[in-house]
């Protein structure tokens, strides 16, 4: 089965890919890794597929591109090779229990560039894990934003997407986050108290969320402690087997 | 009044900032420019405020960061200075008719990093223009994605946000795009025909859109030809005067 880690730069995709891969291997599974990030220098795992064999962001910077331009240009150059990457990933999926996809450092490169969209659309039922770091959650509206962002990824990539808070080992009171993320009614009752336009919009958006998507389990993971890896493994397996929904 | 251009790398923020600024000046307005992108090398306008005086992405790359890490780190270093930037931008807003904010190359840097969120939350009623390039629109679901993304930016930054398709001079049949973007009923009738899970989700999401936000006018702009600049000016003015809604 194929599991793709998607999230903003700094959300912990690469570290989690490596740590979850190790966990799976320790539990008797065969694992392959695909690195889709042209801008990463060192990887904490040995990739079976690596887009940097074709192009890296820093060689483009030597050609004169700025960092943002280099990243976009690198995926422009990868686009004609998307079928070759697909073939390789599909072959790995045949041979191994898990193929873990470590996506570009900047999430938008994957969501907005045709390379990411075409790759994901043509893979058989990949599970997308949308990683977000607890430090982007400062007020009730932010929790609504994150819940919706998972849906936006699903809409864009056409893949089942499960939101996962990363770095939970760095959080002091995880239960405070969980109240807002797991219990939409609670979040909505708090959003109702926000008098701003932003609060009003968040309240309206979170109120329609149950109409838009079946209830989704949120994962809480730590690459450092391995917390939540059992949940992620179970969820991947359920998704792969189509044994049920992801609640 | 303050107008912020937000969009993914390559959507044309910087070019549009320069071209729209020139247009405003030609029409008798005083204009200030603020560059918030630590990763840009050359600007086609002369910035009155420029975050690169404090830090640039490429000096961080010389310190050993990869391109993605350098971008994130540059905003970590800017964060303690957000109040100073706010003060400067507010002073410019007092002195000039327009302050144009050219935001980071990667949109997610602005949306997910506290620097962008804190800056926007503390500016008086800025108008955010969400720029997207026509090349990300390939199938009906993509139009739904873009419509929702405007709302996500509004939710995250707490600012009125108007979606604007950039580079319209490169598009052959603009009316085909406009049918999907301007007419939600038409878009929904097309989404109803999409049999995939993705189509179903898009249909559900676009169906609730009218409940979430008042009808929003979509802008169609070109930095090359100046198309749509009159609409953007009118809309900014209406927003500033609170003369009415943005339909």
Neighbours of A36 (CB within 10 A): 28
A186: Cβ contacts below 8 Å, ≥ 6 apart: A179, A180
Q: Tell me the average pLDDT across A149-160.
A: 95
Q: Residue A130: name the closest of A55, A187, A181, A191 by CA.
A: A181
User: Both tokens of residue B171?
Assistant: 């598009």
Residue in this structure with the two tokens 């997308």, named with its chain if needed: A128
What proportion of chain B, given as a percentage, has pLDDT over 90?
Answer: 90
- Alpha-carbon distance A209 to B212, whole Å? 11
A65: left (phi over 0), alpha (psi -120 to 50) or beta: beta
Residue A95 C-alpha, separation from nearest chain B C-alpha, in angstroms: 28
Contact flag B57-A67 (C-beta cutoff 8 Å):
yes
Query: Three-state DSSP class for B158?
Result: coil
- The backbone torsions φ and ψ at residue B92, rounded to the nearest 5 degrees and listed phi first, read -60, -40
Residue A7 — pLDDT band, cuts 50, 70, 90? very high
Chain B contact for A138 (CB, 8 A cutoff): yes
- Beta strand spans in B143-229 (E): 160-165, 219-220
Chain A contact for B70 (CB, 8 A cutoff): yes
Angstrom distances, CA of residue B225 to CA of A35, A233, B16, B135, B222: 40, 53, 11, 18, 6
A10: left (phi over 0), alpha (psi -120 to 50) or beta: left
pLDDT at B95 over 50: yes
Buried b (16+ CB within 10 A) or exposed e, B4-39: bbbbbbbbbbbbbbbbbbbbbeeeeeebbbbbbbbb
Angstrom distances, CA of residue A122 to CA of A5, A75, A86: 17, 17, 7
Nearest to A141 among B61, B71, B155 (CB): B155
Residue in this structure with the two tokens 């010389």, named with its chain if needed: B62
pLDDT score at A244: 47
- The backbone torsions φ and ψ at residue B125, rounded to the nearest 5 degrees and listed phi first, read 50, 50
Q: Residue A227: name the closest of A20, A4, A69 by CA.
A: A20
Query: Three-state DSSP class for B96?
Result: coil
Nearest to B68 among A106, A196, A202 (CB): A106
Angstrom distances, CA of residue A153 to CA of B21, B79, B86, B114, B148: 34, 28, 32, 22, 11
Chain B contact for A230 (CB, 8 A cutoff): no
A30-73 confidence digits (pLDDT tens): 999 999 999 999 999 999 999 999 999 989 999 999 899 999 99
Going from N- to C-terminal start, the domains of chain A cover 2-28+97-241
pLDDT score at B247: 55
Residue A25 — pLDDT band, cuts 50, 70, 90? very high
- Alpha-carbon distance B112 to B125, whole Å? 20
Interface list for A 76-135 with B (CB within 8 A): 105-109, 112, 114, 135
What is the fold of A2-28+97-241? Rossmann fold (3.40.50)
Whether the CB-CB separation of B148 and B205 falls below 8 Å is answered with: yes
CATH superfamily placement of domain B2-135+158-173+220-241: P-loop containing nucleotide triphosphate hydrolases (3.40.50.300)
- Alpha-carbon distance A194 to A141, whole Å? 9
What proportion of chain A, given as a percentage, has pLDDT over 70?
Answer: 98
Tell me which chain A residues have a C-beta less than 8 angstroms from the C-beta of B41: 66
B12: Cβ contacts below 8 Å, ≥ 6 apart: B131, B133, B166, B167, B223
pLDDT score at A245: 53
pLDDT score at A246: 58
CA angle B8, A204, A207 (to 5 degrees): 110
B116-151 confidence digits (pLDDT tens): 999 999 999 999 999 999 999 999 999 999 999 999
B31-81 confidence digits (pLDDT tens): 999 999 999 999 999 999 999 999 999 999 999 998 999 999 999 999 999
Q: Tell me the average pLDDT across A191-207.
A: 93
């Amino acid at each position: 089965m194929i599991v793709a880690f998607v999230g903003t730069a700094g959300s912990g995709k690469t570290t989690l890919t490596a740590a979850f891969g190790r966990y799976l291997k320790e539990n008797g599974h065969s694992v392959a890794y695909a690195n889709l990030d042209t801008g990463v220098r060192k990887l904490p795992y040995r990739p079976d597929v690596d887009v940097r064999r074709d192009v890296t962001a820093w060689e483009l910077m030597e050609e004169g591109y700025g960092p943002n331009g280099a990243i976009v240009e690198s995926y422009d150059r990868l686009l004609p090779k998307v079928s070759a990457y697909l073939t390789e990933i599909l072959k790995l999926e045949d041979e191994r229990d898990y193929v873990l996809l470590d996506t570009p450092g900047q999430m938008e490169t994957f969501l907005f560039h045709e390379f990411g969209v075409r790759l994901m659309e043509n893979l058989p039922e990949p599970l997308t894990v949308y990683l977000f770091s607890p430090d982007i959650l400062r007020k009730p509206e932010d929790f609504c934003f994150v819940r919706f962002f998972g849906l936006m990824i699903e809409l864009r990539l056409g893949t089942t997407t499960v939101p996962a808070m990363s770095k939970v080992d760095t959080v002091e009171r995880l239960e405070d986050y969980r109240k807002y993320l797991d219990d939409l009614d609670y979040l909505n009752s708090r959003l109702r108290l926000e008098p701003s336009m932003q609060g009003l919009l968040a309240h309206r958006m979170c109120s329609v969320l149950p109409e838009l998507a079946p209830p989704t389990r949120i994962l809480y993971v730590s690459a450092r402690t391995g917390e939540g890896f059992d949940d992620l493994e179970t969820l991947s397996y359920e998704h792969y087997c189509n044994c049920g929904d992801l609640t």
